[in-house]
Amino acid sequence: MTGSDAPSRLLIEIAGLGVALNCEDEEFARLVAGAYSSFLALPGTPAACEFAVHIAPPRGTDPDEDVRVSLADGKWQIRRGDFEAEFDPRARQGWVRHTANPYSVDTVLRIVHTLLAADAGGFLVHAAGAILNGRGLILAGASGAGKTTMCRLAPPDAVLLSDEICYVTRHGEEYLVHGTPFAGELGIPGVKVSAPAAALYLLARGNQHRLVPLKPAEAARQLLRCILFFAEDAELAGKVFNSACEFVRRTPVYRLEFQPEPGVWELLK
């Protein structure tokens, strides 16, 4: 098993950030390692944070409870019907308690990365992503907007980063878009590569293929609707708001009106 120092320790690296999962159950660790095989870190990669993973039913949660993320005594409390977790952002340590379901881990990873990204000027966005001619393209939209369709229509020389969630990180004046293992309708994890973010396209079905440049305020509004954000915390919400505003100041944003046929990619070259 790669990405681990022990059979039950996994280091899952997304957007250059390794999250270590110290699983008490080796069989579950193997299951998770299989699901994230292309995102396991190379040996020696430092961990950005460590989680102890316990296989046990969450305590005192309603099985139908929706996800809740709140800050108490400086620690993030994360709960859903099938898991509970805690993350101390200062110590960069936490724990997860859940049934033996890899989807619980998937949700915890998504949430933890939204917290890590927000502190560093980045964000996770509901978007398909691709690298075409060395340019990172972000194709954002809610469910049904056409993310998976755009991936199916992509030309063979496009590297698909994800059909569901892309990760945007800030590096000085530049933004990088990264693939993630978080799969959408294609059910295929993305790839662990990144490229400078060249443009953001907000997907909209139309009668023709057309690019409409958006003014920054409208672009920020639309982008904010697509950013993954779970926390009930005004300070963190403010950070995400600022990140979105900074991103649209530095990156061209368009509404991409399209019909589902391959010619739409000609507009993106």
Does 237 participate in binding another protein (rule CB under 8 A)? yes
**CB closer to another protein out of 11 and 220:** 220
Asked if residues 148 and 204 have their Cβ atoms less than 8 Å apart, the reply is no
- Select from 81, 102, 196, 216 the one that contacts another protein (CB under 8 A): 216
Does 241 participate in binding another protein (rule CB under 8 A)? yes
| Count of residues interacting with another protein (CB under 8 A) | 16
Does 250 participate in binding another protein (rule CB under 8 A)? no
- Select from 221, 250, 261, 269 the one that contacts another protein (CB under 8 A): 221
Does 17 participate in binding another protein (rule CB under 8 A)? no
Least distance to another protein from the beta carbon of 254, Å? Answer: 16
Sign of the torsion angle spanned by Cα atoms 215, 220, 225, 227: positive
Does 213 participate in binding another protein (rule CB under 8 A)? no
Does 206 participate in binding another protein (rule CB under 8 A)? no
Where do we find the tokens 């080796």?
A: 26
**Sheet of 68-72, strand order:** 9-14, 17-23, 49-55, 93-98, 83-88, 75-80, 68-72
Can you state the percent helix, strand and coil of the chain, rounding each to 5? 25, 35, 35
Q: Where on the chain is the footprint of another protein (CB under 8 A)?
A: 215-218, 220-221, 224, 229, 234, 237-238, 241-242, 245, 248-249
